[in-house]
Chains A and B, each alone.
Chain A
């Protein structure tokens, strides 16, 4: 009896550990997600290899990786978007697996294929499934076949003639959306209300798609607006087992990019959730999907869901699902890539999780990027708060990449508590550096409509357009006094600031000051 249990329970685990240990993982990414993957891989005993562009050598990821190898090239297409260079680096360093993270080449099937052809494991879905689903057109056709509702659309693979544009405009009607077919996260996306803006929008979206994803293909679809953006997390293993891990509500967006995500969605009923999960599983099953994937839906104002697209990769906002389900999605991606079968036990999603994306951008001036030096960055330690960041205690937000500083994730038994925790964590986050969206995120989280769960993709635009700062005058006066009053200045021992020859003060305007 004991022997049998030992054999069935312990031995497979022992061999699994054996397989994992000292595997060499190449991470074709940077920033916070590279750090996240390194940490997940480290727990499994992997050796991590990170390609690092010149301007990233001071990053946390470069320090954390077991091996950081130089990725030479003056722009993105020669560094994080260069398939030959990345594959060559991975091979030279004897990598067993390649994890692409999100963004960059994560949804590029040619990269996946090149990795596989070079004899390495691709941590993600098979290139065939990627090709099928990343072509948003073919994904939509598949949905039609499976009777999953979807929105009408037209595609432009390359240069577009005026005639083609005219035809598309007629077919879809305005307002419409121009989107990068290879894209995601809102990049390369344009909203068009009138015919005269149409051509320029398509061309500029194509340029942006080319730089950001290395593929100029864009497509046009009817704009469902205002909408609710809800997505389903799915994990699948190599034995065609697929599991849906609930939804994430990502309707709080600016420039079509998510800034706050939460799970569960305050909008969905249990029945709707089951429907979405069922759609997602059926779609990915049909596509032969493996690894982590996300099926995105939009809900129109009547509450009707439409299939939007599949993100064939890890999502930025995956941590909220992890917090609610108590699993590690990145580790499962790695284990699945090595052939382990997915076994999550009985899933008991608990409580509520919310993520806020802290960006170096000016929310009071059209969310313009604010790259620059960060002199000091610190996060509070609060139970239930998880921080994912790739920026160190002092660092640099480069104009060449995404302006993300950190993801702050809160989990609590109830949604109200999670919101409260997140607000506290944001308020206690210290960023001595460029203007960020920190105070704006707090304002959104404290908005009465957000508290009620009554929001949609236009929420930021409708509720905050033209909204200025709400800084208390007295506090501003104190800050100015501290900035100039030499007696208020306490040497804070911040070397970066001292080197810069600047005045650095703890803002303690009490007795010491007057």
Chain B
């Protein structure tokens, strides 16, 4: 019997703790500690796992699940704005609204990224001290690229 513990981040940003117990004969899946029986019905659909991502496409669900360590949280976002300190999607920096060596308040607009001809604003998720700016206006960022070197300890 082998067991695996991890969390998955669903496309809506929710975290689900998962435990997979697998033996040669059967599989048990625990979601948030609750045991879920695996239905014996044949299910139509496709699943592809690649690194930390699981691509799912069945008649009732389509999207990407992100595998993370248990206890870690996904970034929060809403509308054309996100509270994040790194590019959550690839895009071009159209506006850099803060400079280095300063405090920013939670919710302050930091960076505007453009992707697919639309603009998205990134706001500070908490009170943060910006030490260094790591991106330039006009620069094209890959997904996951941090905007700043920063600390959040209030000293």
Contacts and interface: CB of A to CB of B under 8 A. Distances in A.
Contacts, number: 205
Contacts of B16: 476
Contacts of A469: 10-12, 14, 61, 63
A485 B27 contact: yes
A470 to B, nearest CB: 9
The B interface is mostly helix, strand or loop, or mixed, namely strand
A275 interface: no
B117 A477 contact: no
A344 interface: no
Contacts of B31: 473, 476-477
A401 B90 CA distance: 12
Interface residues of B, number: 65
Interface stretch (B52-60, B98-106, B124-132, B144-152): B52-60
A481 B29 contact: yes
A285 interface: no
Contacts of B50: 497, 500, 502-503
A19 interface: no
B20 A366 contact: no
A505 B22 CA distance: 17
Contacts of B110: none
B58 A368 contact: no
B60 A399 contact: no
A408 to B, nearest CB: 13
A301 to B, nearest CB: 24
A479 interface: yes
Contact of A484 (B20, B57, B80): B20
B79 interface: yes
B155 interface: no
B48 A399 contact: no
B112 A403 contact: no
Among the interface residues A474, A487, A500, which one has the most CB atoms of the partner chain B within 10 A? Answer: A474
A482 interface: yes
Contacts of A477: 29, 31, 36, 38
Given A399-B115, A483-B49, A468 B63 contact: no
Contacts of B4: 484
Interface in A414-470: 427-436, 438-439, 468-469
Interface of A: 187, 204, 207-208, 211-212, 255, 362, 364-366, 368-371, 375-376, 399-403, 427-436, 438-439, 468-469, 471-485, 487, 492, 497, 500, 502-511, 513-514
Which 8 A/B pairs are nearest by Cβ-Cβ distance?
A: A364-B12, A435-B63, A477-B29, A502-B50, A477-B36, A507-B45, A468-B12, A510-B42
Given A432-B48, A475-B43, 19 more contacts: A204-B119, A207-B119, A212-B117, A364-B10, A365-B12, A402-B116, A430-B46, A430-B57, A432-B57, A468-B10, A473-B31, A476-B61, A480-B65, A484-B22, A485-B20, A497-B50, A503-B49, A507-B58, A509-B39
